[in-house]
Amino acid sequence: MSAIANHPETHEDILIREQGFDDHFHDHHHGDKFQSNFITKYIFSQDHKMISKQFLITGMLWAIIGAGMSIIFRLQLGFPEESLLWLKPLLGKWITVNSEGVGKLAPEFYYALVTMHGTIIVFFVLTAGLSGTFSNLLIPLQIGARDMASGFLNMLSYWFFFLSSIVMFYSMFLSTGPFSGGWTAYPPLSALPQASDGSKTGMTLWLVSLTFFVVSVLLGGINYITTVLNLRTKGMTMWRMPLTIWAFFVTAILGLLSFPVLVSGFFLLMFDRGMGTSFYLSEIYVNGKALENVGGSPILYQHLFWFLGHPEVYIIILPAMGLVSEVLSVHTRKPIFGYKAMVFSILAIGFLSFIVWAHHMFMSGVNPFLSNFFVIFTLIIAVPSAVKVFNWIATIYGGNLRLNSPSLFAIGFVSLFISGGLTGIFLGNSAIDIQMHDTYFVVAHFHIVMGVAAFFGMFAGVYHWFPKLYGRFMNDTLGKIHFWGTLIGAYAIFWPMHYIGMAGVPRRYYSYDNFETFNHFAKINQFITIAACVVFLLQILFVVNFFYSIWKGKVVTERNPWESSTLEWTTPIEHIHGNWPGNIPTVHRWPYDYAKDGKDYICQVEPLGVGEEDSGSH
Amino acid sequence: MTTLIVVLCIILAVIVFLQIGKLTELTAKIRGEKNAQYASNRWNSVLGMIFMIVFLLYCIISAYDMKNYMLGFGPHSAASEHGGALDSVFKITLFFTGIVFVITHVLLFWFTYKYHGKEGSKAKFISHDNKLEVIWTAVPAIVMTFLVVGGLNAWNKVMVDVKPDEKVLEVEATAYQFAWTLRYPGADGLLGTKNYKLIGGSNDIGQDWTDSKNYDDFKADKLVLPVGQKVRIRIVARDVLHNFYLPQFRVKMDAVPGMPTYFVFTPVKTTEEYRAELKKYPEYNEPSDPKDPNGKKKWETFEYELACAELCGNGHFSMRREVKIVSQEEYNKWVSEQKSFYLTSIRNTDDDPNKGKKLAIDPVETVKDTTKVNVVEPVKEIK
Ligand code: HEM
Ligand SMILES: [Cu+2]
Ligand SMILES: [Cu+2]
């Protein structure tokens, strides 16, 4: 470890050497069995930092694919008259050519694209890509652990995700196409191969892929929870954990409790598809034949799905909230406002997210009386959400704000979360949802509050922790262009969708030509499509910046470039197995001692002064 | 060729951007990192203010511009009795959320501007403020309570089913890939029983011809309803999930195979009245067919529409039916022109189980006495 030895010992190093905790960790310099060759170091790695990078890069690949799909179906919606012949080399038979030589996107492919887009972004990018990356990177580093509780399960978690990715990717090349019944996969459409080509092998592979995916989430989740509970270093009480860790911790619990329910729903669906059971099927006549199945209920699936589905949206947004809290605090040079209130609101959101699921089903034919409870709980969830927003804004108040790519994305996140959260209040009120359900208003709501906001949290995280990941900085100017362009562009895409939705236009329509009520918005749809293309190109800029910076970015020379008080910045710039070369740090204070007692920041390893009180203790 | 040019342009743009990025990094080095950061802080906080102002103006102006498409504003106020209640919950929510939206955005970007890092500036150590936190927990909680009470009040009124002794017209909408079958009860006011196993041939919804209630049922290619008459739509799906959606009436309900659902509503504006309303707005005075500038205007060709609002397969976007709301007299006249499906298409064919037999009751071929409002059987019979 000569490279590390070359760095002058920092103040924190001395503290860790003198006061840190000696856990008798032996750093195997050369014969380290975990990283001894290329395969164990880069591919079947059990090191949380490497696994984090694997999740990040796989997630990015999926993000490009998922976003690219949205561009293709937006072309259909924005420019339905335009010939898409030029896409034929890429899409083959999915582009049908009519007698005039005009290439059209086939409806079945439109629906396949929409379905794949949703599945990919929700599960592969914003669940695996986000939690997988940052829980893996930050949990051990910020709580002072050598690695995850089980490096092996952690490795399996990534490889199950990879397997799931492969299966999903393969399903796109089937002759009958991938699944095309929407990311929620409601039966009977998803249960009946006769009802749609996408429900043939495409659906089977979709189920197989997502089952592997759930295995991945569960393996990861068990690990995160165990690590947080058992591997915190000396002095790192729960109330001294950064909000990132709280967020990842609660996220993992949500995942652990809700994903198995989804899988059970999937299994019943598989039985219905392959074994003639009738969990979801009853009195169906399809394709010229009356099926034997009676007594099942498609609504049962919806309950099982949304029992995961709603926690899932918080599984996506909580990590982003954690990252944003941390990034805002560091770059405002101020403690996060109301740390305990933040923790309690994370816990409250986590708990409440389990009892609101049927707000997705107000118009599904469930007993309207039951909806009363779900309306009440749903609107209660808006309260802790509002508290979080106020706390972020109060964090900025009185700060000394360093405006760079990470902090800008964090501020953008707050704006988006406000905009999207407020439209949730419309939808959560079942009376309004009668009109809004399954319209573009819902599309606007969840893309802003979950889609774009979670991406912003992820971007804030990537720009902020890139120095920790790769020992270099990402280019900040490109980051700012990326930020402003994406913020404006994302609002340009999704804001007008509110209006289209209020006018009653349903989502998942391949074409609006058939309806006088819905065909007034050609100009707006064009505008949205153009904005989407611009935003897509800006994301390519991010990807270029990312890979360029891995090899050519400005080199990090100081360990703690953001002058942050959390533990991850006390580790050497070069990644080493076990994170700290000698002792692991002992923690003496909460993670947000910024601007305290005239000091810019105080690292968590700094012992409390005489008579000093830990600021996090009240 | 064009593809190539586009690709080249993108590559070029990327290179340009990378150079800009590198350049600014270099100048930052020359000016000193600290000063470069201060300059960046200033710039971006100003950009934030500009963004905030432009964004809020855009929101307000675009909302004003689109108000004619919003619930309860302009021509699109609800065409059903219950719709107004929903529209007003919408308006109240819009009011409160609008205020919160503006205030939080102003504060967010104003603080970003005011507290951006400057030469010599320092952050304050403020970790929490219990009083403030109690206030901003309580206020949203109170507002939410208010919205919940208003919303649920409306919801529980809208969603009740008909009472057993209530006079109501029951019409059945059966959804299948990718169309609707609309069935009316005929003179007896009762829809005949069905069995999905009987579906086949011309019997597309599986009516049971041994049930005499089916004799006078008729099917229509449009949903025609009398204004002011309470209607109960029995919503049925034959194959997969669909959704019975009448945008102008604020009616939406999933059609579920194996489990009939319903929606009860009363149309209050005839198609003609709705058109007259639309006529007042310039966007409906444009020609309805852009290729024929002198042809009919949009308001003249307007029809209420029934759409599907639950993804049901590749033809989901095409499940349209016209909806006509007419006066009671016109409705009576229309009904009298409709023919019983059984008598015209099934009777004495091979599909008829009563072939050659006398019918149990004497069916009325068409409804003559329409003054007799159709009465529905007690709710327990409603399936
Ligand atoms: C203020 C709190 C929120 C409330 C009251 C709320 C309410 C709702 C309701 C009632 C729906 C169903 C709309 C419909 O289908 O008719 C919905 C849809 C959705 N919400 Fe929210 N929401 C809130 C926040 C969030 C957050 C924070 C996220 C994600 C991070 C989120 C993600 C979604 C998604 C993904 C959907 C649509 C799923 C689909 O149908 O495909 N929501 N929301
Ligand atoms: Cu939800
Ligand atoms: Cu449909």
Q: Which of A252-266, B23-37, B126-140 has the highest mean pLDDT?
A: A252-266
Cβ atoms of A494 and A445 within 8 Å: the answer is no
The number of the ligand nearest the C-alpha atom of A362 reads: 1
pLDDT(A583) > 60: yes
CA distance A436 to A501: 7
Q: How confident is the model at residue A81 (pLDDT cuts 50, 70, 90)?
A: confident
3-state secondary structure string, B354-382? CCCCCCCCCCCCCCCCCCCCCECCCHHHC
Domains of chain A (ranges, CATH numbers): 2-25+39-289+296-607 (1.20.210.10)
Task: Give pLDDT tens digits for A333-392.
Answer: 999 999 999 999 999 999 999 999 999 999 999 999 999 999 999 999 999 999 999 999
| Contact pairs from chain A to chain B, CB under 8 Å | 377
Q: How many CB atoms lie within 10 A of CB A199?
A: 27
Residue B362: per-residue pLDDT: 60
Encode B221-238: b = buried (16+ Cβ within 10 Å), e = exposed. eebbbbbebbbbbbbbbb
pLDDT(B380) > 50: no
Q: What is the mean pLDDT of chain A?
A: 90
Q: How confident is the model at residue B368 (pLDDT cuts 50, 70, 90)?
A: very low
What lies within 8 Å, CB to CB, of B176 at 6+ separation is A285, B204, B237, B238, B239, B242
Partner-chain residue, chosen from A297, A396, A516, that has the shortest CB–CB distance to B301:
A516
Q: How confident is the model at residue B356 (pLDDT cuts 50, 70, 90)?
A: confident
CA distance B81 to A571: 67
CA distance B49 to A224: 40
B105 touches chain A (CB under 8 A): yes
Residue B213: per-residue pLDDT: 85
Q: How far is B328 from chain A (nearest CA, A)?
A: 25
Task: Give pLDDT tens digits for B89-129.
Answer: 999 999 999 999 999 999 999 999 999 988 888 888 888 88
pLDDT(B369) > 50: no
Q: How many CB atoms lie within 10 A of CB A599?
A: 12
CA distance A334 to A593: 8
Closest CA to A227 of A153, A294, A318, A327: A153
Residue A6: per-residue pLDDT: 55
Cβ atoms of A504 and A429 within 8 Å: the answer is no
Q: How confident is the model at residue A96 (pLDDT cuts 50, 70, 90)?
A: confident
Instruction: Write down the domain spans for chain B.
Output: 30-118+130-158, 169-346
Q: How confident is the model at residue A26 (pLDDT cuts 50, 70, 90)?
A: low
Q: How confident is the model at residue A141 (pLDDT cuts 50, 70, 90)?
A: very high
CA distance B24 to B33: 11
Ligand 1 pocket residues where CB is under 6 Å: A 184, 313, 316-317, 359-360, 378, 381-382, 385, 421, 424-425, 427-428, 433, 436-438, 442, 445-446, 449-450
Partner-chain residue, chosen from A393, A491, A496, that has the shortest CB–CB distance to B104:
A393
The residue-averaged pLDDT of B265-278 equals 93
Q: How confident is the model at residue B377 (pLDDT cuts 50, 70, 90)?
A: very low
Would you list the DSSP string of A491-520? HHHHHHHHHHHHTTPBSS-S--TT-TTTTT
Q: Is the peptide bond before B178 cis (omega within 30 degrees of 0)?
A: yes
Residue of the CA atom closest to atom 16 of ligand 1: A437
Q: Which residue reads 């060709």 in tokens?
A: B301
Query: Residue A422 and residue B97: Cβ atoms within 8 Å?
Result: yes
Which chain B residue lies closest to A109 (C-alpha atoms)?
Answer: B314
Give the strand pairing for B242-246 and B251-255: antiparallel
Compare A97 and B296 and report the one with higher pLDDT. Answer: B296
Residue B366: per-residue pLDDT: 44
Query: Residue B151 and residue A411: Cβ atoms within 8 Å?
Result: no
The number of the ligand nearest the C-alpha atom of A436 reads: 1
pLDDT(A100) > 70: yes
Residue of the CA atom closest to atom 41 of ligand 1: A184
How far lies A104's CA from each of A95, A187, A276, B107, in Å? 5, 28, 37, 47
Closest CA to B174 of B208, B132, B219, B137: B219
Which residue among A184, A308, A317, A360 has the greatest number of ligand 1 atoms within 8 angstroms of its CB, and so is best to mutate?
A360
| A143: Cα within 13 Å, side-chain hemisphere | 30
Cβ atoms of A500 and B64 within 8 Å: the answer is no
pLDDT(B370) > 70: no
Q: Which residue reads 């804001």 in tokens?
A: A495
How far lies B263's CA from each of A358, A363, B377, in Å? 19, 10, 17
Give the number of residues written for chain A. 618
Residue of the CA atom closest to atom 22 of ligand 1: A424
Closest CA to A255 of A135, A102, A155, A428: A135
Task: Give pLDDT tens digits for B324-346.
Answer: 999 999 998 898 888 888 888 88
pLDDT(A484) > 70: yes
Which chain B residue lies closest to A489 (C-alpha atoms)?
Answer: B55
In degrees and rounded to multiples of 5, residue B278 shows phi and psi of: -65, -30
Residue of the CA atom closest to atom 38 of ligand 1: A446
Eight-class DSSP state of A75? H
How far lies A161's CA from each of A68, A78, A124, A153, A164, in Å? 21, 34, 8, 12, 5
Residue of the CA atom closest to atom 5 of ligand 1: A424
The number of the ligand nearest the C-alpha atom of B306 reads: 3
CA distance B32 to B9: 34
Residue B165: per-residue pLDDT: 78
Cβ atoms of A417 and B289 within 8 Å: the answer is no
Closest CA to A478 of A486, A467, A470: A486
Instruction: Provide the percentage of residues in chain B whose pLDDT is more than 70.
Output: 93
Residues in chain A with CB shorter than 8 Å from the CB of B247 are: 435, 503-504, 517
CA distance B144 to B235: 33
CA distance B155 to B136: 28
Give the strand pairing for B218-220 and B223-226: unpaired
pLDDT(A225) > 80: yes
Q: How confident is the model at residue B361 (pLDDT cuts 50, 70, 90)?
A: low
ipTM given for this complex = 0.92
Distance of CA A384 to the CA centre of its chain: 20
Query: Residue A431 and residue B243: Cβ atoms within 8 Å?
Result: no
Global pTM reads 0.93
Residue B375: per-residue pLDDT: 44
Which residue among A378, A390, A449 has the greatest number of ligand 1 atoms within 8 angstroms of its CB, and so is best to mutate?
A449
pLDDT(A160) > 80: yes
In degrees and rounded to multiples of 5, residue A104 shows phi and psi of: -120, 145
Eight-class DSSP state of B310? S
Give the strand pairing for B179-184 and B169-176: antiparallel
B117 touches chain A (CB under 8 A): yes
CA distance A477 to B136: 37
Q: Which residue reads 């639309």 in tokens?
A: B278
Checking A370-375 for CB contacts under 8 A at 24+ apart, the result is A371/A430, A371/B155, A371/B159, A372/B152, A372/B155, A372/B156, A374/A430, A375/A428, A375/A429, A375/A430, A375/B148, A375/B151, A375/B152, A375/B155
Question: What spacing in Å lies between the alpha carbon of A452 and ligand 3's midpoint?
Answer: 27
| B105: Cα within 13 Å, side-chain hemisphere | 25
In degrees and rounded to multiples of 5, residue B116 shows phi and psi of: -70, 150
In degrees and rounded to multiples of 5, residue B205 shows phi and psi of: -120, 5
The residue-averaged pLDDT of A96-115 equals 86
Tokens in use for A485? 């362009």
Amino acid at B4: L
Task: Give pLDDT tens digits for A500-543.
Answer: 999 999 999 999 988 988 888 989 999 999 999 999 999 999 99
B297 touches chain A (CB under 8 A): no
CATH fold label, B169-346: Immunoglobulin-like (2.60.40)
Residue A35: per-residue pLDDT: 56
A535: left (phi over 0), alpha (psi -120 to 50) or beta: alpha
Partner-chain residue, chosen from B108, B127, B248, that has the shortest CB–CB distance to A415:
B108
Eight-class DSSP state of A127? I
Give the number of residues written for chain B. 383
Query: Residue A189 and residue B55: Cβ atoms within 8 Å?
Result: no
Residue of the CA atom closest to atom 19 of ligand 1: A446
pLDDT(A28) > 60: no
Q: Is the peptide bond before B260 cis (omega within 30 degrees of 0)?
A: no
CA distance B231 to B78: 16
Cβ atoms of A607 and A19 within 8 Å: the answer is yes
Would you list the DSSP string of A294-314? -S--HHHHHHHHHHHHHHHHH
